[in-house]
Amino acid sequence: MKNIAVIDYGMSNLHSVLKSLKKVINKNYNLSIAYSSKDIEDASLLVLPGQGAAHSCLEKLASDFPDLKTHIMNKPFLGICLGFQILFEKSFENDGVNCFSLITGDVKDFRSTIKKDMKVPHMGWNKVNQKYNHILWENIPDKSFFYFVHSYYAKATTETNILSDSDYEINFTSAILKDNIFACQFHPEKSSKHGLQLLSNFINWSEKLT
């Protein structure tokens, strides 16, 4: 049996993610909450949801999951929202904080780049433009709508890492893919049938990696 560890560092909508994952897994998977490094050592898949500030998130992860980056690089990984942003090189939130540098590019404030009459946070349903075909998009039409809630946006600089982009006056990276790492700015757990399909596709994709 494979163990899916959903990482809890006190800053995520954990229960929504757990509820959605329960709908798409079968009896071959066990779903657990990880509170420390010990809880992810034997995990087959890792899920890192997140909300809040990058600096606080990274501090908490460094304290409770000091070897998390190594695990992310070696196990099928899904990052959601803040769990997506901290994979980049730097976030300009909280006067700037260095992140995991697993994806080239930075995370910037919408308010520094878009017009003042645009609402921040970017909240609600928006189109996700698929950059290329992949099992992660199976049974999800291109330009499907997913649910977003974020004030900061990421821009990946390595084209092959960009699985999708979206627009909110400006163009930004909405999902990335690199080796065993998949992460998205939007919330699949809040994105109805397409979100559940994406989570199911992630499980299927992970099977091909292990």
pLDDT digit string, tens, across residues 156-174: 999 999 999 999 999 999 9
Rounded-to-integer distance, Cα 81 and Cα 79, Å: 7
Q: What domains lie within the chain, and their CATH numbers?
A: 2-209 (3.40.50.880)
Which pLDDT tens digit goes with each residue over 65-118?
999 999 999 999 999 999 999 999 999 987 899 999 999 999 999 998 887 788
pLDDT at 126 exceeding the cut of 80: yes
Question: Which three-class secondary structure state does DSSP give residue 118?
Answer: coil
> pTM for the full model?
0.96
pLDDT at residue 116, rounded to an integer: 75
Q: What average pLDDT does range 51-73 have in this prediction? A: 93
Cα angle for residues 152, 154, 159 (degrees, 5° grid): 170
> Looking at the annotation, which residues are catalytic?
81, 187, 189
Rounded-to-integer distance, Cα 58 and Cα 86, Å: 8
State phi, psi for 117 to the nearest 5 degrees: -85, 0
